[in-house]
């Protein structure tokens, strides 16, 4: 049976609200990162998440080389970072990190100190699938802060209404 067309698939997936995060790896001039909305928990024992990353992304090969990555789930007031790490402003490589403060976590991966949630992962496994690689990260550290998460829904960045 044939697959649906890419435009139909994109439209369907835009109807699925998802959190927005920046996936990062590396240190100093080797830092790389990108915006994703494809982070999902996968199991509790051991605690793991899965993230899909385009094989052409600058961060892709760096995650494989470093064997670790960070996931900074963005707050509603961090839309500018989502756009910057999504390729806006033309920033590439380490220059994406020029705005905002970044910490190096216990795995020495870049993390936003004021992210809604920050997770540090050791690369547990990966699987190449056509244009993307699915990375499974075993979570070794986590922290949370207050605020509202940034959400990707129907092709736009949004926030949840406050309680």
Whether residue 5 is preceded by a cis peptide bond, meaning omega within 30 degrees of 0, is no
Reported confidence tier of residue 99, pLDDT bands at 50, 70, 90: confident
pLDDT at 163 over 60: no
pLDDT score for 161: 73
Average pLDDT over residues 24-48: 95
**125 strand-pairing partners:** 136
pTM of this prediction?
0.94
Rounded to the nearest integer, the mean pLDDT of the chain is 94
Set out the domains of the chain in order of their start, with CATH numbers.
Answer: 18-153 (2.30.110.10)
pLDDT score for 22: 98
pLDDT at 63 over 70: yes
Paired tokens of 99 = 């705005």
């Amino acid at each position: 049976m044939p697959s649906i067309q890419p435009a139909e698939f994109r439209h369907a997936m835009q109807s699925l609200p998802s959190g927005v995060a920046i996936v990062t790896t590396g240190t100093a001039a080797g830092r790389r990162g990108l915006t994703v909305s494809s982070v999902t928990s996968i199991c509790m024992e051991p605690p793991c998440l899965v993230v899909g990353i385009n094989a052409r992304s600058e961060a892709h090969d760096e995650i494989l080389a470093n064997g670790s990555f960070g996931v900074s789930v963005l707050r509603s007031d961090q839309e500018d970072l989502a756009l910057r790490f999504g390729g806006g402003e033309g920033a590439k490589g380490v220059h994406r990190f020029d705005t905002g403060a970044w910490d190096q976590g216990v795995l020495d991966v870049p993390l936003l100190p004021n992210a809604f949630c920050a997770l540090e992962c050791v690369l547990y496994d990966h699987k190449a699938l056509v244009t993307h690689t699915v990375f499974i990260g075993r979570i070794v550290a986590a922290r949370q802060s207050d605020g509202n998460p940034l959400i990707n829904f129907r092709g736009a960045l949004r926030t949840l209404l406050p309680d």
